[in-house]
Structure formats: structure tokens, C-alpha cells
Amino acid sequence: MADTKKLFIKTYGCQMNVYDSERMAESLGAGGYTQTDAVEDADMILLNTCHIREKAAEKIYSELGRFKGLKAENPDLKIGVAGCVAQAEGEEIMRRQPMVDLVVGPQTYHRLPDLMEKVEAGQKALDTDFPEEDKFDHLTTRPKADRGPTAFLTVQEGCDKFCAFCVVPYTRGAEVSRPVDRILTEARDLVERGVREITLLGQNVNAYHGAGVDGEYTLAKLIWALNDIDGLARIRFTTSHPNDMDDALIAAHGECEKLMPYLHLPVQSGSDRILKRMNRNHTAESYLRLIERIRAARPDILLSGDFIVGFPEETDADFADTMALIEEVRYGQAYSFKYSTRPGTPAAEREQVDPDVASERLQVMQALLTRQQREIQDEMIGKTVDVLFEKPGRLEGQMGGKSSHLHAVHVTGANVSRGDIRPVRITKSEPNSLGGEVVGG
């Protein structure tokens, strides 16, 4: 029965994969699939994968191994691999796991209906092209009716920067910006469905340069256009490269009322020697001066970053430089990773750091980052912050949401609903969240 087929999607990695999984679910939904959370009920299992570090990629193979039993029980079960592992490994996936029916890379999701036709006819389907046509022109972008108050919206995809450690330019391809009218239409649709906060996504989102009816738009200009949408309360964007933070975007942080005071601005390392080897095209000093300018525009902005330890040839002195940069910036949120060798990237060929040394550096760095994060959280105690409520908390009568600074905040026993934005006085700081009371009940 075509209308009762069940689709199980599991999403790994970044927020863009979350967005893509929604698009794929819509596309497959048009083909008669409804989503299920129970993998054992599925007629189709789709893994939307991440290739950024070795561990993430290997996880896919062990996950696929676990589906062997399911396929034995239900020979009609179809298994698909999408995302960056699909793009990077292609046919190799079917060689290692012959039960895989479908391999589809991020730039060909709009071809899913045709690929599924093949799969349902019992054939294997593989598509890892970088096609000329724009997948967004063909993918439905109709948001789900029952969605929560926050949503992601991809505005830019791919990367031309080629940092020496990174697979993204190879898996997601060259930088492409979606046209302004498409983005605004999608944003208005989301708002009509109850969305109050939109996070604009792109691997290099601040390099956005989309076509508008009145010429090319930068990210700042796009944000100002979104700012005019009634009912939309909050705008965020991620992830940015320091070299693409232009004056207008910095100014928007001070002037654009809906743009939230939070910025994820990865620096990766605080050593100029390593930054050069990483092909980052900026120095520690230029990054620090940039942070100064952003803070001048928006003094209370909360900064978040990504760091890699153990990049090839990283010495103790290089690591100390990174620690010094972290001390100087004070991050409210951070993601730190041990360097992972990615086949095909320039850094993979170089002399690797002893993994034990890298692990030790990671621990030291994470201790500092956790301390900073906690201190910044603790400083919120006694302050009143606006919270967008998203869902019930773990405890009875609890509601949780996010502050403007993206802190998770929970309140208990308050009369608030999903989608409300209310002032909350912060009374406590816990390891990864804040607690408080809604001002005025």
C-alpha cells in the first residue's frame, strides 16, 4: 500500500543536515512516505551523514551493520545513505555494505523521486553529482505544519576557502548563495506556521551574496530584509568565517533589533604559524581586532568558537598561543576538537602530532572553555533576559527555551506556552542551562 510506507531518518552532524533531512522527508513524503521514530517499523531507512571527522564517518558503517538484522527480517526494507559520507565515499559504501540501496550526495537531493523509483524497482541508485541546476529550485521548501517556534533556513551552501584540514569544500562543493526572494518567501511561510526565530545557515554564511531584484545582497542586507517580516522575532546565522565579517554585518549587530547578540566565529587556532599552515588567511591578531570591533558594536554579544588541537606540527608553544587567545576573547560557548586526518585534504599528508599529546591538549583547552562558559553563565544570575519558550522541560511543570544569548533557560510553574517570548529573571546557573522566574508570572 503506497500510502502507508514508513520512513525513518537519522541525522548526524551539522544543522544544515537537520535542514536537509526535513527537505528530504518532504520530498519522500510526496512519494507516499510518512515519518516514523521506530526504526523497526521502517520501509525505508535514511542516514543523513557527516564526514567532518573520522569518528563521524566510521559511525555510519557501524550503524549500517546494525541494520543487517532488520533487512534479514524484511527483505523489502530499503536503506539509503545521504549527506557528506555519501558524497565523499560514493560507491565504496555499497562495496562495504552491499545492503545499501541508495547513496545520494547533498547536491542532488532534488533527484530523490527518480532515485527512489529505481530503488523501489529493486535496483541500486547512486548520485554524487555536482549538477548545474540548483537543487533548491526543485526541492519543496514547504515547512511542516506542526513545527516548533524555531527553524533553520539554508541561505548559502559550500565553501571556497579550503582550510587545510577540512572536507567541506569537497563534500558540499563550491560556495552558492540562494536568491533573496526564495529566502524571504520561505521565511514568511515559516512565520505563518508559527516560527518566531530563524537561524540562517551556510558553511560560510557571512560570505552570502545572493541575487535580489534590486541587485546583489550581502548577509547584512538580507538580515535587514528579514527584519521587516512581521511576526518574526529573532534572527541568527551560522557559521561564519572571520574574513567575511564586513562592516555592515558588524554594524547590524548593534542596530538590527531582531538580530540576536550571539556570534559563532571559529578561529581554529591562536598561533599564526598554525593558522598559516591551516590556510586560514588571517592572523590571531586580526581576529582579536575583529572581535574588538564586534564588541564595540554590540557590547553584550556572546561569542562562540571552534578550535582544533593537534593540527600537524602544532607545538606546545602554538598550543599556548591558542590558550592565550581564548583567555583574551572569553567565549560563552565553544566546540573543540582533536585534529582528525581527512583523506584528500592537504593536511593529511603532513607530520601528525602524537595522539596522546593532542588528547592532553584537548583536555586542558576544554577545562578553560568550560570555565569561561560557566563564568559567563553565572554572570547572568540576577539579570532579566528574554526567553523564547520551545518545549516542556524534564521536570513536571517545567518549560524550556533559549535566551537572546542562546543560553538554555528553564522556568517552573509559569503560565507560558510554546512560542511565547517572556522576560525571565535568572536565579540559578547549572552546568548547561540557566533557571529563572518569568517576570510578572
Distance of CA 321 to the CA centre of its chain: 27
Between the alpha carbon of residue 77 and those of residues 29, 47, 99, 123, 373, the distances in Å are: 17, 14, 10, 13, 45
Q: Which neighbouring-strand residues pair with 387?
A: 403, 422
Nearer to ligand SF4, 177 or 403 (CB): 177
Dist CA 360 CA 405 (whole Å): 30
**Minimal CB distance residue for ligand 5AD:** 306
Residue 328's alpha-carbon distances to 287, 369, 399, 412, in angstroms, are 11, 12, 35, 36
Choosing among ligand SF4, ligand 5AD, none, which partner's interface includes residue 169 (Cβ < 5 to 8 Å by kind)?
ligand SF4
204 is an interface residue for ligand 5AD by CB under 6 A:
no
Shortest Cβ distance from residue 11 to ligand 5AD (Å)? 16
The least CB distance from residue 338 to ligand 5AD, in Å, is 7
Considering the complex, what minimum distance in angstroms separates the CB of residue 198 from ligand SF4? 21
Q: Which is nearer to ligand SF4, 163 or 220 (CB)?
A: 163
In contact, 417 and 148? CB cutoff 8 Å: no
Residues paired with 49 in a beta bridge:
83
Written as nine digits, the cell of 60 is: 555510519
Nearer to ligand SF4, 269 or 404 (CB): 269
Residue 277 as a binder of ligand SF4 (CB under 6 A): the answer is: no
203 versus 373: smaller Cβ distance to ligand SF4? 203
Let me know: does 77 contact 45? Beta carbons within 8 Å.
yes
Which strand ranges, in their side-by-side order, compose the sheet holding 33-35?
33-35, 5-11, 44-49, 78-82, 102-104, 125-127
Name the residue nearer to ligand 5AD (CB basis): 141 or 204.
204
Q: Which stretch binds ligand 5AD (CB under 6 A): 94-102, 147-155, 177-185, 332-340?
A: 332-340
Cell numbers found for residue 266: 571559529
Among 78, 339, 410, 422, binds ligand 5AD (CB under 6 A): 339
Stretch of 148-156, 211-219, 313-321, 335-343 contacting ligand 5AD, by CB under 6 A: 335-343
Q: Which is nearer to ligand SF4, 269 or 377 (CB)?
A: 269
Name residues contacting ligand SF4, limited to 231-250 (CB under 6 A): 241
Exposed / middle / buried, residue 356 (Cβ in 10 Å: 0-12, 13-18, 19+): exposed
| Spatial separation of the C-alpha atoms in residues 381 and 102, rounded to whole Å | 51
264 binds ligand SF4 (CB under 6 A): no
Q: Is the dihedral of CA 157, 187, 114, 83 positive or negative?
A: positive
Site string for ligand 5AD, 293-312 (x = CB under 6 A): -------------x-x----
Which residues contribute to the site for ligand SF4 (CB under 6 A)? 159, 161-163, 166, 168-169, 203-204, 241
Q: Which residues bind ligand 5AD (CB under 6 A)?
A: 52-53, 165-166, 266, 268, 306, 308, 337, 339-340, 342
